[in-house]
Amino acid sequence: MDRVDRIEKSRFLGREFLVWLWHESEHADGVLPIGKGESVSLWLEEQLTLVSDDLLGRSECKLKGSTPSTTTEAKEALRAGKLPIKAKIRIDRPPQSWSFVFEADTLGLASVSIPALLTEEEDEKFYERMQLVEELEEMLGALFETFLRLRTSPNWERHALPALRVWVKKEPWEE
Amino acid sequence: MGALRGSITYSKFHVATELSKGFRDRFIEKMRLRAFRPLDPKEEIDHRAGWCSITDPFDLELTSQKVFFNDYLNVGFRVDRWRIPSPLFKAAFRAAERDWLAKQGLEKLGRAQKKNLEKIVMAQLRKKVVPAMRATDLSWNLNTGVVRFFSKSAKSHELLGELFEKTFELELVPDGAYVTAERRGLPEGLVGSLPELEPALFHTERR
């Protein structure tokens, strides 16, 4: 298998990562460890897109609102076999806060809103912007690493996947 | 939207290479060779891509000072494209066809004559319009090898990949699950097992 094949065959993990993030965000008050004793608060907000691809084609469910991930429609879409491909996410690491649209298939980021810049110097603004973007990427990278370690461990089949299935079956108000 | 200001929407790529001594001068030289060149109506191409200053797409004189921001290489990726509205082209072609047929005393154009006339009409129209310009920011962190390109357009990605490879002789690898796992230094066994995993079913236990 060449590298391009390995990249393509692993692409589905982005959607599973987003399911896992969604589940984690609804538990332990959405506080997720990111290593080195640090943790962040993470939640989904405002927009969520789920899709399923099968022989009949692509079926898409686009949800908007203050917290679409907590709606019956979102859970219903999961129960119909759809998976999230795009979600607006907020990450808080007090006193800073980031919001962005996460694209699961590429692990891409769009419409990133970074914490307010401190510098007033025009030349320095670029470095601060990039630093804040790189900090966000690092936090997401750490979360993805946690997910991959779990996903490739025996605990995935034994504990994590069954817990995710129970969560998918439940209505939002049953949580 | 971009690296310096505005909304932050980008696609992430990786460059896997150790940069050798003196790379900055070499890069500037190579980028100058591939700096944007304005389209000429006489040329038959419908678009051209090239590098420009990240702060001004009309500034095509690339220098170290304009490109290197400490450990970042920042540059604009400019693509100009002729956009002749189809109704305008059709109307101009019909007029030219009538004139030509009258002059030659013919009733209909042959296939080769039609193609030739289309080229002439297109060249005439291109003299009257300004090409559509698009400049996109690119920011390359030279320490980490991460390239952020501030566009999600697949077409732009394709053009960027071509120009980047021609300029730097380096491949741009798009980010994604597998590449992220590799770059985070996860154990080889774990990374190697990722393409072998079966997608999980969250809504049913049955496959």
Residue B5 lies in a domain: no
Instruction: Please identify which residue in the block is written with the tokens 């999980």.
Output: B200
**Phi/psi at B110 (5° precision):** -75, 170
Same domain, B64 and B137: yes
pLDDT of B180 > 80? The answer is: yes
What is the number of structural domains in chain B? 3
Torsion sign across C-alpha atoms B177, B178, B179, B180:
positive
Over range A149-163, report the average pLDDT.
Answer: 95
Same domain, B207 and B111: no
- Chain B stretch 26-45, residues whose beta carbon is closer than 8 A to a beta carbon of chain A: none
Of A10, A14, A16, the CB nearest to B195: A10
Q: Searching chain B, which residue's CA lies closest to the CA of residue A132?
A: B8
Asked whether B64 and B28 are in contact (CB, 8 A), the reply is yes
Same domain, B53 and B15: yes
How many Å lie between the alpha carbon of A107 and the closest alpha carbon of chain B? 5
Write down which residue in B103, B128, B153 finishes a domain. Answer: B128
CB-based burial label for A105 (10 Å; 0-12, 13-18, 19+): middle
- State the best of A61, A139, A152 to mutate against chain B, taking most chain B CBs within 10 Å: A152
Residue B4 lies in a domain: no
pLDDT category of residue B206 using cuts at 50, 70 and 90? low
Same domain, B113 and B160: no
Residue B23 lies in a domain: yes
Same domain, B67 and B142: yes
pLDDT category of residue B20 using cuts at 50, 70 and 90? confident
pLDDT of A172 > 90? The answer is: no
- 3-state secondary structure at position A14: helix
Asked whether A44 and A67 are in contact (CB, 8 A), the reply is yes
pLDDT of A120 > 80? The answer is: no
Across the interface, whether the CB atoms of B194 and A148 are under 8 A apart is answered yes
pLDDT value for B64: 95
Residue B6 lies in a domain: no
**A165 lies within 8 A of chain B by CB:** yes
Cross-strand partners of A8: none
Same domain, B167 and B75: yes
Same domain, B95 and B123: yes
Of B176, B186, B202, the CB nearest to A11: B176
**B58 lies within 8 A of chain A by CB:** no
Q: pLDDT tens for residues A74-100?
A: 999 999 999 999 999 999 999 999 999
How many Å lie between the alpha carbon of A153 and the closest alpha carbon of chain B? 9
pLDDT category of residue B188 using cuts at 50, 70 and 90? very high
Same domain, B157 and B170: yes
- Chain A stretch 11-30, residues whose beta carbon is closer than 8 A to a beta carbon of chain B: 11-14, 16-17, 19
**B152 lies within 8 A of chain A by CB:** yes
Helix B154-168 × helix B23-33 angle, to 10°: 120
Q: pLDDT tens for residues B46-74?
A: 899 999 999 999 999 999 999 999 999 99
Residue B115 lies in a domain: yes
Whether cis (ω within 30° of 0) applies to the bond prior to B199 is no
Same domain, B103 and B191: no
Residue B3 lies in a domain: no
Residue B74 lies in a domain: yes
Instruction: Please tell me the least confidently modeled range out of A17-31, A55-69, B188-202.
Output: A55-69
Same domain, B204 and B116: no
Q: pLDDT tens for residues B137-149?
A: 999 999 999 999 9
pLDDT value for A103: 97
How many Å lie between the alpha carbon of A11 and the closest alpha carbon of chain B? 6
Same domain, B30 and B74: yes
Residues near B166 by Cβ (< 8 Å), separated by ≥ 6? B34
Look at B162 and A57; give whichever has higher pLDDT: B162
CA B125 vs CA B131, B133, B176: distances in Å: 11, 17, 43
Q: pLDDT tens for residues B23-34?
A: 999 999 999 999
Across the interface, whether the CB atoms of A81 and B201 are under 8 A apart is answered yes
pLDDT of B106 > 70? The answer is: yes
pLDDT value for B1: 59
Write down which residue in B69, B98, B128 finishes a domain. Answer: B128
Same domain, B42 and B98: no
d(CA B125, CA B2) in angstroms, rounded, equals 33
Over range A48-74, report the average pLDDT.
Answer: 88
Q: Searching chain B, which residue's CA lies closest to the CA of residue A98?
A: B8
Nearest by Cα to B84 from B73, B93, B75:
B93
Range of the domain at B35: 11-82+131-175
Across the interface, whether the CB atoms of B139 and A130 are under 8 A apart is answered yes
Nearest by Cα to A11 from B174, B56, B69, B90:
B174
Across the interface, whether the CB atoms of B203 and A168 are under 8 A apart is answered yes
Look at A56 and A5; give whichever has higher pLDDT: A5
pLDDT category of residue B207 using cuts at 50, 70 and 90? low
Look at B196 and B104; give whichever has higher pLDDT: B196
d(CA B4, CA A101) in angstroms, rounded, equals 20
Residue B203 lies in a domain: yes
